[in-house]
Structure 1
Amino acid sequence: MKYLAKTLFGLEEVLAKELEDAGASEVEPLNRAVSFRGDLKMLYKANYCLRTALSILVPIAEFRIASARDLMKKSLLVEWARYMDAGQTFSVVPVVNSGLFSHTGYPALVLKDAVADWFRMNKGRRPSVDTSDPHVVLNLHISGEAVTISLDSSGVPLYRRGYRRGSGTAPLNEVLAAGIILLSGWDGSVPMLDPMCGSGTFPVEACLLACGIPPGKYRKSFGFQRWNDFNPELFDEVRRECNALVPMKHAAISGSDISGEAVRLARLNVESAGLDHLISIEKHDFRDIQSENREGIIFLNPPYGQRIKTHETETLYKMIGSTLKHNFPGFRAFIISSDTEALKHVGLKPSVKRTLFNGSLKCSLMGYNLYAGSLKR
């Protein structure tokens, strides 16, 4: 069976490696997605274990159109009873980039009508649309004249792990945090620190990786569990196997923040994930942190955009660069920010430059090898 794993821009190769390690076949990185093949067990495993996937789609129809009428006509040819019944609810999520439609919501309405009409004509009753909690989510992708209709096997996006109990302003996407950690090559052998941890996403995602804990462990449900062909015994087998993964030995994982409220939220999330015995969260000013370790890794998601006043940006990012240089020689540091101008004020020569997205926000990931005298003159 062919599947499509959606991800954030810039994480395609990371997700492809995850899929290969999970046993998927015919893995092919695309734009913000990775296609792959596998059986039903692989579908369940992809949802439960992948750290950098946003959703797992199951394509059920592909065709070309020249008009909205074509979309209706060809959607009526799909044998919809294979995927749902009239007693279930459904919704349509459109992703449209086509000159055939002036409004992206219109194709979704066409597909909804096609599904309802098919059931009315073939089964005598029509399913209801439910946008808040549907049994079946249909993904409608239109690029030019090419149409792909898919089942969304994830339901709620996979970045919503289920452990978050509190979040501050603009929390870091869990998939992005996991992707950055994997991109860094951190293997748990050196200490990991996030000195501006906010609600604790970097420390939690690092600990899940180090401990071999699947990101899906905390979720209450997945979309495929509401499908008519759901196999609970097979899914239980997947969970048992994935939960038994051997964790890597890891050094200390810690987070800190100057904000007492951020520390409270981070501790809440760490405790919710059951990791409070493995992750230390403390209230500290970044400038006051002195490491006794000769090596380690730092992940930073400093304030940017609306989270900080413009005139404060230069001062903050200069402080970050100076503190990294003077307090953490021998470490590596990774900074994610949408403010490319602010990153210039860090004053360090980056060894890694990469474009990523935090949701819809374009960001730059900068990696630095820290050593005495590493500040640019």
Structure 2
Amino acid sequence: MTKKTLSLSKRGSTTPASEEGRKAPLRPGARGHIRPPQPRTGETKAAAPVVQPRSLSISGIQQFFAPSPRGLEQLLADELGAIGAGGVRVVDGGVAFSGDWSLVYKANLHSRIASRILWRLDERAYRNESDLFRMAGRIAWSELFDVHRTIKVSVTAQRSPLRSVDFAALKIKDAVCDVFRAATGERPSVDTAVPDVRLHLFLTDRVATLYMDTSGEPLFKRGHRVETVDAPLRENLAAGLLQLAGWHGQEALLDPMCGSGTFVLEAAGIALKRAPGRDRSFGFEKLAPFQVDVWQAIRAEARAQELTSLPYPIVGSDRDAMSLDAARSNVRAAGLESLVTLKLADVLDAEAPADSGCLIANPPYGVRLEDQEALANFYPHLGDALKRSFSGWRAYFFTGDLRLPKLIRLSASRRLPLYNGALECRLYEFQVVAGSNR
């Protein structure tokens, strides 16, 4: 699957994604210039027929789709079902589901696994870009958001016969602007960096599906991260790994390679029953169907369920002082400095904060250690440290280095295939027993 986003810098002007941010339009024929498909010799380009836009009601059952990290789809399906989603269907890369409009608010607020919550506006067979233009032209966009809101169109295509997904995005944008101009005499501007309204077009070989993004910024952005480190783990992936590790806040937790604190922040949120979206805003707040009273009631209900103390310790440590400073800043921004313990320590010297619990880490795999030889020397010492200090604990390592179980000299009780973006990884589980290699 490939994903390309049309970049538009001004009303009515376009630049290809590789030139995002530049203001000057490219001249025809220049490298990167988006060329619409040209008619063959002897053909005439037919004008798209005018279609009367239709209103989309938010009453009744609506159709949604929530993309997620690959490998976590079933966890997401269970999560959505628990908050009232119906028609839950797992597909590769996400979950389709249905429900009333209030489910938009609940899913955005409560989902720890989803990347976005997309509202399905239309789905039709298509053969060319004109079909896409007609599909988008059928929707009364001025009833969904104000003309002064900025927009962005993204396209994901899988086996699509179209020659340019950028041109497909341009046709969707043109249709939206034409509908607005006919209804209001104005057209919305485009913002590729921080748009108010995001539209997503998904193309298969025969079917086009048009969604409106109700989340705005991706849901893994919880709203409290102020510092980061190189190659940080995304929050929704970390939350999924904690669930796969069977951790639900009823035992001690340690991340001995905590970096900027993603695991400990997600763990604390789970243990305190905090909704992951409690500290951020969402795209649906900028849409015309937004029901502020319903949203406030749902947020208030979520706040009422929160706990104020932790029955078990949550500890993060790292040998890198700059990473630990970033973790402290993030923990402080989340208001968790009195509940999460952070220490400057090497993983090989880590001590268990309780008699039993869950150790989880995203160890280096050729990124933070200089080379593969250094990793090969490091892993046996890691296995020794686990046996020495963590007898009775469950240890989980999420890594793209598939040599880890052999080199750590421990027998993995589970090996779960997952992905970190496009990188194939494994979540390895080790039941630690003192004084034994296997």
Q: Cα 1:153–1:354, aligned 2, differ >3 Å: closer, same or farther?
A: same
After superposing the two structures, state which structure 1 stretch, 309-318 or 264-273, moved more.
Answer: 309-318
Q: Deviation string for 1:118-151 (max 9, x for gaps)?
A: 3334443322212122221101111112111011
Q: Cα 1:162–1:289, aligned 2, differ >3 Å: closer, same or farther?
A: same
Amino acid at match of 1:18: E
State the SS of the aligned residue for 2:408: coil
Q: Deviation string for 1:294-318 (max 9, x for gaps)?
A: 3111011111233332221212222
2:301 paired with 1:241: yes
- Aligned partners of 2:115, 2:173: CA distance in 1, in Å? 24
- Aligned partners of 1:100, 1:78: CA distance in 2, in Å? 24
1:104 is matched with which residue: 149, 160, 165?
Answer: 165
Q: Deviation string for 1:74-130 (max 9, x for gaps)?
A: 322233233234332211121112342344323211211221223334443322212
Q: Which residue of 2 aligns with 1:230?
A: 290
Q: How does 1:27-38 map to 2 (within 5 A)?
A: 27-38=88-99
Contact 1:187 1:250 in 2 (8 A): no
Q: How does 1:225-374 map to 2 (within 5 A)?
A: 225-247=285-307, 250-291=311-352, 293-310=354-371, 311-374=373-436
Q: Cα 1:318–1:217, aligned 2, differ >3 Å: closer, same or farther?
A: same
After superposing the two structures, state which structure 1 stretch, 58-67 or 103-112, moved more.
Answer: 103-112
Q: Cα 1:43–1:99, aligned 2, differ >3 Å: closer, same or farther?
A: closer
Q: Deviation string for 1:27-61 (max 9, x for gaps)?
A: 22221211222222221011011111110000001
Amino acid at match of 2:287: W
1:14 is matched with which residue: 66, 75, 88?
Answer: 75
Which consecutive unaligned segments of at least 5 residues does structure 2 have? 1-61
Q: Which residue of 2 aligns with 1:87?
A: 148
2:194 paired with 1:138: no
Contact 1:55 1:157 in 2 (8 A): yes
Q: Cα 1:242–1:146, aligned 2, differ >3 Å: closer, same or farther?
A: same
Q: How does 1:158-197 map to 2 (within 5 A)?
A: 158-197=219-258
- Give TM-score scaled by structure 2 length: 0.82
Q: Cα 1:41–1:374, aligned 2, differ >3 Å: closer, same or farther?
A: farther
Shift of 1:249: 5.6
- Aligned partners of 1:93, 1:308: CA distance in 2, in Å? 36
Identity of aligned residues (%): 37
Amino acid at match of 1:231: Q
1:63 is matched with which residue: 104, 124, 134?
Answer: 124
Q: Cα 1:28–1:250, aligned 2, differ >3 Å: closer, same or farther?
A: farther
After superposing the two structures, state which structure 1 stretch, 293-302 or 112-121, moved more.
Answer: 112-121
Amino acid at match of 2:423: L
Structure 1's consecutive aligned runs of 4 or more residues displaced over 6 angstroms after TM superposition are none
- Aligned partners of 1:28, 1:46: CA distance in 2, in Å? 15
Across the aligned residues of Structure 1 and Structure 2, the Cα RMSD in angstroms comes to 1.8
Contact 2:405 2:411 in 1 (8 A): no
Higher helix share: 1
State the SS of the aligned residue for 1:236: helix
State the SS of the aligned residue for 1:356: strand
Shift of 1:7: 0.8
Structure showing greater Rg: 2
Shift of 1:67: 1.6
Contact 2:142 2:179 in 1 (8 A): no
Contact 2:142 2:183 in 1 (8 A): no
Shift of 1:239: 0.6
Q: Which residue of 2 aligns with 1:47?
A: 108
2:437 paired with 1:375: yes
Number of aligned positions between the proteins: 375
Amino acid at match of 1:242: A
- Aligned partners of 1:32, 1:49: CA distance in 2, in Å? 19
Contact 2:410 2:430 in 1 (8 A): yes
Which consecutive unaligned segments of at least 5 residues does structure 1 have? none
After superposing the two structures, state which structure 1 stretch, 225-234 or 291-300, moved more.
Answer: 291-300
- Give TM-score scaled by structure 1 length: 0.94
